[in-house]
A = this chain, B = another copy of it.
Amino acid sequence: MTDTMTRIASGLERAFASGGFAAPSVEDLRDAAGVSLRTLYKYTPSRVEMVRAALENRHRRYLARVFDDLPPAPEAALDEILTRIGGWMETEASHGCLFHAAVAADPGNADLRALLERHKTEVAARAAAATGLAGRETHLLLLFEGLTQTWPLRGAAAMAAAGALAKTLTADASA
């Protein structure tokens, strides 16, 4: 029922998330997308377009899952964001941020890097808006990046550390 492009994008996202960006062949990607090779190439005319489609899909899903319907109070919002990032890591991204992985796999690709930049900028902006910490976008970003990278290594302990550091941020702002 979902239109073809959506089905392709979410299949590709799943494939890259589990297999990385280097390993999966286009035939693997076709299997994951659940369409024929011809249709796959019709919607995403090259392998890098497949990567782009997967990341666009990821971006939309991540923003919705982490930032939609947050509690209005700043400290509660920040706590909830961190909890949701933890949940995201647990169920979706057991080995780190997909955007960083894409750039790492192909560091020379400027388009990919622009996509990463846009994703992180939007994440920081939405977090700042939700927590009333305008002007602290970089602090928030550092916290999220730290949590996202430390989670695969330390699991719940990473969440606890992020929570502790977050408190000093909100306390600072209300002082």
Contacts and interface: CB of A to CB of B under 8 A. Distances in A.
15 contacts: A22-B106, A96-B100, A97-B149, A100-B100, A138-B154, A138-B161, A141-B150, A141-B154, A141-B161, A142-B147, A145-B146, A145-B149, A146-B146, A148-B149, A168-B168
Nearest to A153: B120
Interface in A102-152: 103-108, 116-117, 120, 138-139, 141-150
A81 to B, nearest CB: 15
Q: Which 10 A-B pairs have the closest CB atoms?
A: A146-B146, A22-B22, A101-B104, A145-B149, A142-B146, A168-B168, A139-B161, A20-B107, A138-B157, A138-B161
A101 B149 CA distance: 11
Dominant SS among interface residues on chain A:
helix
A20 to B, nearest CB: 5
Q: How many copies of this chain are found per oligomer?
A: 2
Contact of A150 (B23, B103, B106, B138): B138
A-side interface size class: 35 or more
A41 interface: no
A170 to B, nearest CB: 12
A165 interface: yes
Interface string A18-32: 111111000000000
